[in-house]
């Protein structure tokens, strides 16, 4: 019988639930060569723009390219820092203020590599992945978010 290979994606619909992050941490207890985890969580902030406060961000992406870009970044960083493993999850669609929209989780034998790799992964995803964000205000109007790099 041929097994269907599940397509790997770095995207999930809506906010990233804290339970999902906890489950991901728990799964790593079997990997005995890990000595340090580093986790980044991006949260939607109630920015004020021209007197209006952001209520939510609606994410979209050029999915096919974004998946390739993130896969490439992940592979490069795993090799560069000799990581045990690395995981990336980014929201698509609507994420409200206070909810998590990006989860980066890297694991290494030692803390220095984990910390540096995590930071590098976040910076590169923000800079290189074709992801777009519509900042939606309380009154229903919106503006397009641009990352400050």
Binding site for other proteins (CB under 8 A): 42, 57, 59-62, 64-66, 68, 90, 101-102, 122, 125-134, 144-147
Q: Identify the residue whose tokens are 């206070």.
A: 98
Which CB atom, from 68 or from 82, has the smaller least distance to other proteins?
Answer: 68
CB of 132 to other proteins, least distance (A): 4
**Residues facing 90 on adjacent strands:** 11, 102
What share of residues in the chain are helix, strand, coil (percent, to 5)? 35, 35, 30
Which CB atom, from 84 or from 135, has the smaller least distance to other proteins?
Answer: 135
CB of 66 to other proteins, least distance (A): 8
Phi and psi, residue 83, nearest 5°: -75, 155
Which CB atom, from 52 or from 134, has the smaller least distance to other proteins?
Answer: 134
DSSP 142: E
CB of 28 to other proteins, least distance (A): 23
| Torsion sign (Cα): 28, 76, 72, 60 | positive
Which CB atom, from 84 or from 133, has the smaller least distance to other proteins?
Answer: 133
Q: How many CB atoms lie within 10 A of CB 46?
A: 12
CB of 73 to other proteins, least distance (A): 11
């Amino acid at each position: 019988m041929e097994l269907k290979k599940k397509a790997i994606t770095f995207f999930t619909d809506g906010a990233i639930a804290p339970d999902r992050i906890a489950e991901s941490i728990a799964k790593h207890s079997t990997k005995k060569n890990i000595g340090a985890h580093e986790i980044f969580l991006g949260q939607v902030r109630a920015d004020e723009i021209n007197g209006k406060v952001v209520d939510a961000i609606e994410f979209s992406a050029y999915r096919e390219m974004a998946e390739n870009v993130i896969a490439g970044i992940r592979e490069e960083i795993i090799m560069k820092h000799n990581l045990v493993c690395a995981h990336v999850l980014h929201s698509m669609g609507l994420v409200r203020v206070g909810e998590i929209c990006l989860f980066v989780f890297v694991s290494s034998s030692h803390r220095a590599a984990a910390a540096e790799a995590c930071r590098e992964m976040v910076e590169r995803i923000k800079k290189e992945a074709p992801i777009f964000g519509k900042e939606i205000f309380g009154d229903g109007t919106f503006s397009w978010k641009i990352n400050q790099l």
